[in-house]
Structure 1
Amino acid sequence: MDWKTAINGFKHYLQLERAMSANTVDAYLDDVTKLRQFSEPQNIHPQSITPSQLQDFLTWINGFGLSAYSQARILSGIKTFYLFMALEHGLVENPTALIEAPRLGRKIPDVLNITEIDGLIAAIDLSTPEGMRNKAMLEVLYGCGLRVSELVGLKISNLFLDVEFIKVEGKGSKERLVPIGTQAAKCLRIYLEDVRVHQKIKPGYEDAVFLNRRGASLTRVMVFIIIKDLATKIGLKKKISPHTFRHSFASHLVEGGADLRAVQEMLGHESITTTEIYTHVDRDYLRSVITQFHPRS
C-alpha cells in the first residue's frame, strides 16, 4: 500500500468512524503527511515502517525547532494513524507501540485580569455595527468560556436567553449547555435585535449568530485579528488570542472558589485533569498570605 492510498483511507476513517471535525481531521492528516514526506524519499511504505525509522523521523522533525508539545501532538496523530492501519488493514505489529512522546511540563496558560478584559471591551468602537457585534462576541467568549470554533459556530436556535443558557457544539460534535451571564446575554440581545436583524444574510447562514459584512459566519481568523487589534489599541503587552478569554474565564471561576467539576462541565473537558491546570493560586494572594501570617514577615 502506498502513502496516498493509506492517507485517503485514514481521512475517511476519521470522518466517518470517528466523526471528527474538519479542523481535527486536517490536523491528523498534516501529522501523517509529515511522516510521508520523511518516508517516501527512502522508499519506506506505511505498513513496513519500523520503530527505529520512527525514531529517526522524530529526530528529523526535532531538527525543525518544533516545541516538545508540537512533537508530542504529531506523534499522537501518527499513533492514531497506525491504530487505523491495525483496525482496517490488519497491521499485526504497531510500530508506534513503544515510542514515547517528549515529556511535557504542565504550563499555566496566560490569563487576563478583569481590568484588562474591561479595557479591551471598552476600546471597541460602538458607533459601528461591527463594534456592537464585537462587544457581544467578546462578552460571550469571556462570559461562557467558549473555544473560538464554538463561538463562530454558535446558532440562534441554540440560544435560550430567557433562562440564561446556550447550547454549544464542542469537540467531536458533543453538545453541552453553558450558563450565560446577564451582561453577556444583554449584549447578545442588543446585537441580535439592533444590528444583525438589519443585515442581508447569505443563504445557508440564517441560523449563525455572528456574521461578517457579507452576511456569512465570522471566521476564526477574523476573531483572532479583532482581538489582536484591540490589544494593540490599548497597548496590552501580553500575547493574547481568543483562547486567552477561555483561560481567563476558567481561572477567574476557580480562583473565586467555583467547584472544579462545574468548571469542567462548562468548559467541555472530558477529563478533570485538563481542568486542574486552573487550580493555580494567584501569586499576589500567596504573597499577601506570607506577609500577613508568617512570623518572620
Structure 2
Amino acid sequence: MSPVTTTSLDRAVRTWLTQLDVERGVSAHTLSAYTRDSDRYLEHLAAHGVTDPLDVTEAHVAGFLAALRTGDDTHPPLAASSAARTLVAVRGLHKFLALEGITQHNPAEDVAPPTPPSRLPKAIRLDEVTRLIDAAGVGDGPVPLRDRALLELLYATGARISEIVGLDIDDLDLEVGAVRLLGKGNKERVVPVGSYATQAVQSWLVRGRPDLSSSGRAGPALFLNRRGARLSRQSAWAAITAAAERADLSGHVSPHTLRHSFATHLLEGGADVRVVQELLGHASVTTTQIYTMVTVQQLREVYAQSHPRAR
C-alpha cells in the first residue's frame, strides 16, 4: 500500500484551519463547516492538477464555484446561498495565505458569489384583507376593537409591526387623517390614513382603550395589552395569527403580509413607485421596485390564462 502524499496545498489548508481553531477560536460548528468546504476545494483543485497554493488562479476559484452550482456524481448542486457560504471559506483561506506571505495575492478576492433568486413578497388579495380585518373584530369587549384597529392601521399605512406598536396617541391626527411613523434609523415619515382605519382607531380610543388603560400603566401608547401596558410585537403578531385562523388564511399571513399587500395594491391601482417608496420608508427605490415585479408576474399569469394564443 503506497503512502498518502501530502501536498503543499494540503499543508497550507491545515495550517489555516489550525489558526482558525487555536488563534481565532471559531466554534466547533464553523470549524467543521470550513473543514468540509476546504476538503471539497482541495478535491476540485487536485482534479485539475493543482497541488501548490502558488498555482491557484482566479479561474480555478471561479471554476470551483461553478462546480458547486452544477454538482457532480458525488455532490448534489448547491443553492446560491450554500455556494456563497462555501466561497466565504475559500476566500478566507486565500486571504490567510496572502497575509502569511505564502502566496503573493488572493485569487479568490474578485470572484463574486452567486446571486440568490429574488424572493417576491407575498401579498394577499383585497377580499382576503377584508376577511382578515373583519375576523379580527369578531367578539365583544376592548380586544376585538383593538385588533381591528391594529390591522386596519397596518394595511392603511403599510407600516412595519414595530412602527405600529411603537405609536403613541399623539402620533395620530385623525382629523387630518395622518400618522407619524418612526422607521429604521429613527427616520420619521408622515403617512395618510384612510377612512376605514380612522373609524376603527376612533372606536378603539373611545370604546376600547379606556377599559384596558384603567390600571394606570398605559402611558401614551396607542395600543395596549390586557394588562394595560403597551402592546408588544409578539402580542400583535399573535392577534394577526388568530385573525388569520378565523378568516381561514392560516399559513398565508404574517405582520409583514399587510405591508406587502399595501404596496402591491397601491401599484396595481396606478401609484408611482417613488410615492410607494416614501410611504414605506425605504431608503432606496430599488427596494420598492421588487413590488413592481409582483404586479408584472400577476399580469403574466392573467395573460397566460386569458389570451387565446398565450400557450
Is TM-score (shorter-chain normalized) higher than 0.5?
Answer: yes
- The 1-side partners of 2:301 and 2:169 are apart by 45
Aligned match for 1:107, one of 113, 119, 136? 119
Distance 1:98 1:209, change over 3 A: farther
Q: Which residue does the alignment assign to 2:269?
A: 256
* Structure 2 residue identity aligned to 1:281: T
- The 2-side partners of 1:257 and 1:239 are apart by 25
Q: Which residue does the alignment assign to 1:215?
A: 228
Aligned match for 2:247, one of 234, 243, 247? 234
* Structure 1 residue identity aligned to 2:125: N
Distance 1:109 1:118, change over 3 A: same
Alpha carbons 2:303, 2:310 under 8 Å: kept:
no
1:101-180 → structure 2 map (5 Å cutoff): 103-124=115-136, 125-180=138-193
What SS does the aligned partner of 2:295 have? coil
Q: Which residue does the alignment assign to 2:295?
A: 281
Distance 1:224 1:270, change over 3 A: same
Alpha carbons 1:255, 1:282 under 8 Å: kept:
no
Distance 1:40 1:211, change over 3 A: farther
* Structure 2 residue identity aligned to 1:139: E
Q: Over residues 109-157 of structure 1, what are the superposed CA-to-partner deviations in whole Å (9 max), with x where a residue is unaligned?
A: 1111111111112223241210000000000001100101001101111
Alpha carbons 1:147, 1:246 under 8 Å: kept:
yes
Q: Over residues 57-114 of structure 1, what are the superposed CA-to-partner deviations in whole Å (9 max), with x where a residue is unaligned?
A: 9969xxxx99939x88xx9xxxxxxxxxxxxxxxxxxxxx879666222211111111
- The 2-side partners of 1:227 and 1:233 are apart by 10
What do you get for the CA RMSD once the two structures are aligned? 3.5
What SS does the aligned partner of 1:178 have? strand
Extract unaligned runs of 5+ from structure 2: 1-18, 39-77, 89-108
- The 2-side partners of 1:58 and 1:210 are apart by 50
Distance 1:259 1:277, change over 3 A: same
* % identity of equivalent residues: 35
- The 2-side partners of 1:204 and 1:160 are apart by 23
* Structure 2 residue identity aligned to 1:269: H
- The 2-side partners of 1:293 and 1:165 are apart by 42
What SS does the aligned partner of 2:191 have? strand
Distance 1:211 1:99, change over 3 A: farther
Deviation at 1:45, TM superposition (A): 7.0
What SS does the aligned partner of 1:177 have? strand
Extract unaligned runs of 5+ from structure 1: 1-38, 47-52, 76-96
Alpha carbons 1:201, 1:214 under 8 Å: kept:
no
Aligned length: 225
Deviation at 1:42, TM superposition (A): 3.1
* Structure 1 residue identity aligned to 2:246: K
Alpha carbons 2:240, 2:254 under 8 Å: kept:
yes
- The 1-side partners of 2:80 and 2:204 are apart by 40
- The 2-side partners of 1:58 and 1:189 are apart by 60
Deviation at 1:264, TM superposition (A): 0.3
- The 1-side partners of 2:112 and 2:306 are apart by 46
- The 1-side partners of 2:201 and 2:290 are apart by 30
Deviation at 1:235, TM superposition (A): 2.3
Deviation at 1:249, TM superposition (A): 0.2
* Structure 2 residue identity aligned to 1:200: S
What SS does the aligned partner of 2:159 have? coil
Alpha carbons 2:171, 2:180 under 8 Å: kept:
yes
Q: Does 1:270 align with 2:250?
A: no
Aligned match for 1:44, one of 13, 17, 24? 24
| Higher gyration radius (CA) | 2
